[in-house]
Structure 1
Amino acid sequence: MMNLQLKISIFLCAFALISIAQANQGGALSVDTSAGKPVWEAGVFSAAFRGPIYPAATDYQNKFLPLPFVIYRGEKIRIGDESVIKAIAVEKEHFKLDVSLGAAFNADSEDSKIREGMPDLDFMFEIGPQASFLLHDNKSSDTWLNLQLRSVFSTDFSNVNHRGYVFQPEVAYQSENLLFDDSRFYFSVSPTFASAKTHQYFYDIDQQYVNSERDYFQSSGGYLGTKVSIANRFQLNKNLMMFVGTQLGLWHGAKNDESDLYQEKFTYTVALGIKWTVFQSIEHIK
């Protein structure tokens, strides 16, 4: 049977990645997009993902995630709707201040030739403030600049380790019914800059792990890479939503590209999922 730590890891990763299913990873939403939605809903979320085991890695892993979900849309606290948990500090027509979160799957080093014999990569999560500025808005689409500063942590669910900080400015565009009726299209570009501790977790090679394919390397902080995200969600009926998405990793010019653990200048992540709402409140957001 699946051990408890793995269950928790899968659950938390999936919960964080529900934001992809909602076609919004950076908060690029007009303040009135919840209007007409139920105050709460619950059901089943299932998704399949394929992506690199860490930034600029050659090796990929697949994840399939079936799990229940709960969404709550409060005035100041929102859970599971366009984010994991969002605390709204300021929400105006052209400016928002709230919380930004991120997550990444854990990975076994034995599944990667270049990392063989090195410690596994733990489940990672990020949290920090986000300031969003509306750049363009019309009836069916909007564009936001999201300034995100997050603290990075890794955990094997017995210990939690701080892994530095990331600064991720993002330009995010979304449009209703751009490609199909009852759909939402999402596109964003987000260069990422990280502290030395974050880079070290991915690219450091200590002397004890040096071999014929890995030379000693110490990382420094700076530019990590740029992520380009494209997603589209489809409302198939009142209770069933499907999403498809991809995230392109552009790692050219990264600060630590001389590390032997830096392998690819381009990577991709793809996702396909279904959200089935089984229960929902009678009361709706006005």
Structure 2
Amino acid sequence: MKYFQLKITTFVCAFILMINAHANQGGALSVDTTAGKPVWEVGVFSAAFRGPIYPAATDYQNKFLPLPFVIYRGEKIRIGDESLIKAIAVEKERFKLDVSLGAAFNADSEDSKIREGMPDLDFMFEIGPEASFLLHDSKVSDTWLNLQFRSVFSTDFSDVHHRGYVFQPEVSYRSDNLLFDNSRFYFSVSPTFASAKTHQYFYDVDAKYVNSERDYYQSLGGYLGTKMSIANRFQLTKSLMVFVGTQLGFWQGAKNDDSDLYQEKFTYAVALGVKWTVFQSTEHIN
């Protein structure tokens, strides 16, 4: 399955959150980027994805995801704009305290030769605090250091299981109109470190699942890999935004590269999406 960020860090749903957090704003990149925007928006976000079924996997899967969205830009609380939920009172000029989220689609083991006969990988989600430090700021670009610590869970929507923790420091850069007019470019690099429980979900091979393709293996905690994300959004009209993006996964040197379930040192994921605002308030932010 795709493992991830954005800001929801790992690519699929994480990429959606990344786009919402980094590419959904307009105008100059300052502390307050809401000036001139409607107080609330309601619409539909849809995206198509292709990526590995789990970190360092050989097998890939395709997914299509349509989602409704709601954005609210209040004086003290903002929802769905620069982050999932933000309390404006904790935002300083060069520091932000926020919530970091991540998600990944489920994957059927029967679709992967190396995992055949093993349990399926459930839908995963991550949540935890994020502290962001402004490294560089100008009228058209900014660079941040984001320190993200998240708790990891998996679910088949009947039970929820805790899958450990991840620590993901990230350097992110964004710039307006870098490649095209009415566009925003986003780039980030984020090494990921995970607890043993998280690695075990991907790379453990219990004795009952040993076969000619898989030896017994127990995972340890440590370095998982590094992700490089590149995206660009295009504001075609006031209500229509299109984005394209890719995420490259560099897994060389991962703690559990001895596992037979660790297959590739490099993977990629790609995404194409559309954000359509159907309704918005007549009141705008001053």
Which deviates further from its counterpart, 183-192 or 58-67?
A: 58-67
Residue 50 in 1 paired to residue 76 in 2?
A: no
Give the match for residue 150 of structure 2.
Answer: 150
Question: How far apart, CA to CA, are the structure 1 residues paired with 2:105 and 2:32?
Answer: 32
Coordinate RMSD, CA, aligned:
1.9
In structure 2, what residue type is equivalent to 1:197? K
Distance in 2 (alpha carbons) for counterparts of 1:90 and 1:102 = 22
151-160 vs 63-72, greater mean Cα deviation = 63-72
Amino acid of the residue matched to residue 209 of structure 2?
A: Y
Give 1:74 shift: 2.9
- What is the SS of the residue equivalent to 1:78? strand
Aligned to 2:198, the other structure's residue is in SS state helix
Q: 1:22 aligns with which of 20, 25, 45?
A: 20
Cα deviation for residue 73 of structure 1 reads: 2.2
Aligned to 2:104: 104
Partner of 2:278: 278
User: 1:166-177 to 2 correspondence within 5 Å?
Assistant: 166-177=166-177
Do 1:23 and 1:185's aligned partners in 2 also have CA atoms closer than 8 Å? no
**For residue 7 of structure 1, what is the aligned residue in structure 2?**
none
Deviation at 1:34, TM superposition (A): 2.2
What number of residue pairs does the alignment pair up? 272
- Residue pairs, 1:90-169, within 5 angstroms: 90-169=90-169
TM-aligned CA distance change 1:60 to 1:266, over 3 Å: same
1:214-234 Cα distance to aligned partner (Å, 9 max, x none): 000000000000000000000
Unaligned runs of 5+ in 2: 1-10
Check the 8 A contact 1:88/1:98 in 2, yes or no: no
Shift of 1:205: 0.3
SS in structure 2 opposite 1:256?
coil
Structure 1 window deviating more from structure 2 (29-38 vs 116-125): it is 29-38
What corresponds to 2:3 in structure 1? none
**2:169 and 2:192 in contact (8 A); partners too:** yes
Deviations 1:75-111 (A, max 9, x none): 4433322433445561011001111111111101011
Cα pair 2:21 2:83 within 8 Å, conserved:
no
Contact kept in structure 1, 2:12 and 2:104, CA below 8 Å: no
Tell me the secondary structure at the aligned position of residue 218 of structure 1: coil
Contact 1:21 1:273 in 2 (8 A): no
Matched position secondary structure for 1:247: strand
Is the 2:225–2:250 contact (alpha carbons within 8 Å) kept by the matching residues of 1?
yes
Normalised to the residue count of structure 2, the TM-score between the two structures is 0.90
Amino acid at match of 1:21: I
- CA deviations over 1:183-240 (Å, ceiling 9, x no partner): 0000000000000000000000000000000000000000000000000000001110
Answer whether contact 2:84 2:99 (CA < 8 A) is retained.
Answer: no
**What's 1:84 paired with?**
84
Tell me by how many angstroms 1:16 deviates.
Answer: 5.1
CA contact (8 A) 2:13 2:104 kept: no
CA contact (8 A) 1:104 1:125 kept: yes
Give the 3-state SS of the residue equivalent to 1:114 in structure 2: helix
In structure 2, the CA distance between the partners of 1:23 and 1:96, relative to structure 1 (3 Å rule), is closer
Letter of the aligned partner of 1:51 in structure 2? G
Residue 210 of structure 1 aligns with which residue? 210
Unaligned runs of 5+ in 1: 1-12
How high is the TM-score relative to the length of structure 1? Answer: 0.90
Question: What SS class does the counterpart of residue 81 from structure 2 fall into?
Answer: coil
Sequence identity, in percent? Answer: 85
Q: Is the 8 A contact 2:129 2:148 kept in 1?
A: yes
Match of 2:238 in 1: 238
Aligned partners of 1:105, 1:220: CA distance in 2, in Å? 24
CA apart distance, 1:277:
0.6
